[in-house]
Structure 1
Amino acid sequence: MINIEELEKRINSLKKYNLVFASFFFSLMTLCVKNIDKRIPIFELVLFRSLLSLIITLLIINIKNINPWGKNKPLLILRGFLGTLALVCIFYAIRNMPLSISTVIQYTYPIFISIFAAIFINEKITRNIIFALIIAWFGILTILNPSQLSIVNVEIEIISILIAFLGAICTALAYVTVKKLSFSEDIYVIIEYFPLVSFITLLPIVLINWVTPNWSELVWILGIGLFTQLGQTFLTIGLKNLPASEASIINYLQVLFGSIWGILFFSEIININFLLGASLVLLGTIISTTKIIKRT
């Protein structure tokens, strides 16, 4: 029998390395999504991912004897819907864009977190955030410059770019709800509601448009579920143990991992514009999540 409490202690002792592991496992999830044939609908991939994650989380909740329904059900359900929409958008972007570029766009979410935190939990929008937004958008425009993309034989439809940004926005909104829920809910209840809402929402859609995966596709689908669950667990524990600013910066390692997988497995070309643009987005993220220390 696995000792959950002992395992949690070991994971907690990792501190900032939790987020390094989270970034690594999430990047492996994107690798699995990219390898699955487009004949399998996006909704079906998200459903399979949710089912496996739900089973694992419910087993842990049962072992720890936690009330699975939580206290703030409306906010937990909202977190589930936001996470589901974010995941659908992210999977679509991964499938229809170079892995390195889709990952960079997804990782604009810390900047959106700053904006939504100001709107929904009354955090102040500082000059830092405004400056960070300008820098990050310059970075995105540098990466998505049509003349530069043509040099490396990359064509990206505008709908894919918009959906990728929608995924980043929904991710940011989900993070704001998770932050608020973390003060009153057990971390496993927060994790549970994501796949629970996702599974209930997507099941009717998937049944109508069902496509039976072959054995090789099933392996990749299992990889999606396993790596997402591992990433989500390390991420949730990491966010609980670290300041948000430090956590956001460490999470950006996924851009590095995504770029490496893109080069190794999909022959993607990383040019100077991508490096410059990604650096600007990273700089914007660091600025937006770093507090100004006032001198006295």
Structure 2
Amino acid sequence: MLKDFLNQNNKSFNKINLIFASFFFSLMTLCVKKIDNGIPIYELVFFRSLFSLLITSLIINKRKVNPWGKNKPLLILRGLLGTIALVCIFYAIRNMPLNISTVIQYTYPIFISIFAGILINEKISKNIIIASLAGWFGILIILNPYQLSSLNIEIDKISVLIAFLGAISTSLAYITVKKLSLSEDIFVIIKYFPLISVITLSPIVFFNWVTPNINDLIWIIGIGMFTQAGQTFLTIGLKKLPTSEAATINYLQVLFGSIWGIIFFNELININFIIGSLLVLLGTIISTSKIMKKI
């Protein structure tokens, strides 16, 4: 009885951590959206990565592990994929309604299952086909012209494509992380993401520097702080919680994003958006349930 009680409490604790993670990640997207469009996307990604790199390096130094890892090519690939994903995600947040860009980002578990079948020979089951159809149908409901016009929203196709590129890059980064986790320290894996971002973006930022004003600087600091807080709560929460349950809780970021969109940017939602979001969530749950069986 005591063991069951403690396990239940531990599970509740993990869920609470994931709720906090979704909340802080949604605040990160709010910060990105609030920053003046004159500050380039790559500069925002650079600052976010620099903050994360400093924190992660301190943790690695304290743990006294090899900071460079073993499988450097795959670690570098993970960093490149993460950098591409973050640039695309920030671009989508800036150029699309916050709620819609967040929903598109959360198609990444469906892409994970598809690419796992292509790249690491996992069988693409009927469940994955169902998950993909549900997710894409939900996206079509949200992005169809009639739905957008009813909300007085105009989204250019380039922004949509970049948003999906962000989700695809996230899914590929996830697969590399799963492979790296078999041989690398988790904080070394985390470190390579901001490390590669800082290295690749430094020349671009240096030659195209735009000095942020005090107001923008506050939001930029918020990006770094809320991202680090979100990653911390996410890491704790994912330890012993089934992936399918975690995916459902993480999807709260769509709810938080919709709330911030309504409060700060006068964005609107309707029944079509809700139905489409629920279908994407269904696809996410089915996809992550399949992923969990493989772990």
Instruction: State TM-score, norm by structure 1.
Output: 0.91
Alpha-carbon distance, 1:65 to partner:
1.6
Instruction: List aligned pairs for 1:49-68, cutoff 5 A.
Output: 49-68=48-67
2:77 match: 78
| Structure 1 residue 222 displacement after superposition | 0.6
Aligned amino acid, residue 177 of structure 1: T
Name 1:151's counterpart in structure 2: 150
Q: Distance in 2 between matches of 1:56 and 1:163?
A: 29
Asked whether 1:202 is paired with 2:201, we answer: yes
TM-score, normalisation: structure 2: 0.91
- 1:249-279: CA deviation from partner (whole Å, max 9, x where unpaired): 2221111111111111111101111011111
* SS class of match (2:152): coil
Partner of 1:283: 282
Residue 216 of structure 2 aligns with which residue? 217
User: 1:238 maps to which residue?
Assistant: 237
Asked if the contact 1:187/1:236 (under 8 Å) is kept, the reply is no
Alpha-carbon distance in structure 2 between the residues aligned to 1:15 and 1:96: 34
Q: Which residue of 2 aligns with 1:7?
A: none
Q: Which runs of 5+ in 2 are unaligned?
A: 1-9
Cα distance in 2 for residues equivalent to 1:242 and 1:182? 17
CA contact (8 A) 1:191 1:232 kept: no
Mapped partners of 2:15, 2:148: distance in 1? 35
Kept after mapping to 1: 8 A contact 2:11/2:241: no
Deviation at 1:13, TM superposition (A): 9.3
Alpha-carbon distance in structure 1 between the residues aligned to 2:195 and 2:203: 14
SS in 2 for 1:192: helix
In the TM superposition, what is the alpha-carbon distance from 1:75 to its structure 2 partner?
1.1
Size of the alignment, in residue pairs?
282
> Shift in Å at residue 73 of structure 1?
1.2
Which residue of structure 2 aligns with residue 177 of structure 1?
Answer: 176
Cα deviation digits, residues 182-201 of structure 1 (max 9, x gap): 22222211111110000000
Distance of 2:245 and 2:118 partners within structure 1: 22
After TM superposition, what 4+ stretches of structure 1 lie above 6 angstroms from structure 2? none
**CA separation in 2, counterparts of 1:88 and 1:153?**
26
Partner secondary structure for residue 250 of structure 1: helix
The 1-side partners of 2:232 and 2:189 are apart by 10
Aligned-residue offset at 1:57: 0.8
- 1:1-296 matches, within 5 Å, as 14-291=13-290
Q: Please say which of residues 235-244 and 245-254 is displaced more in the overlay.
A: 235-244
Cα 1:33/1:271, change in 2 over 3 Å: same
- Letter aligned with residue 45 of structure 1: L
SS at match of 1:184: coil
Measured after TM superposition, the shift of residue 244 of structure 1 is 2.8
Q: Secondary structure at the match of 1:15?
A: helix
In the TM superposition, what is the alpha-carbon distance from 1:248 to its structure 2 partner?
2.2
CA distance in 1, matches of 2:272, 2:148: 9
Structure 1 gap segments, 5+ residues each:
1-10
Kept after mapping to 2: 8 A contact 1:26/1:227: yes
- Whether contact under 8 Å (1:12, 1:237) holds in the other structure is no
The share of aligned pairs that are identical, in percent, is: 76
Aligned CA distance change for structure 1 residues 61 and 94 (closer, same or farther; 3 Å): same
Please state whether the residue corresponding to 1:70 is helix, strand or coil. coil
CA offsets per residue over residues 132-154 of structure 1, 9 Å max, x none? 11111111010011122112111
Whichever residue aligns with residue 142 of structure 1, its letter is I
1-structure distance, mates of 2:12, 2:143? 40
C-alpha deviation, 1:240, in angstroms: 4.0
Cα offsets for 1:24-49 (capped at 9, x unmatched): 11111000000000000000000000
Choose 73-82 or 232-241, whichever is displaced more: 232-241
SS in 2 for 1:40: coil
Aligned mates of 2:290, 2:104 — CA distance in 1: 23
Q: Determine the C-alpha separation between the residues in 2 that align with 1:236 and 1:121.
A: 25
Q: How many angstroms does 1:243 deviate by?
A: 3.1
How far apart, CA to CA, are the structure 2 residues paired with 1:241 and 1:173?
A: 23
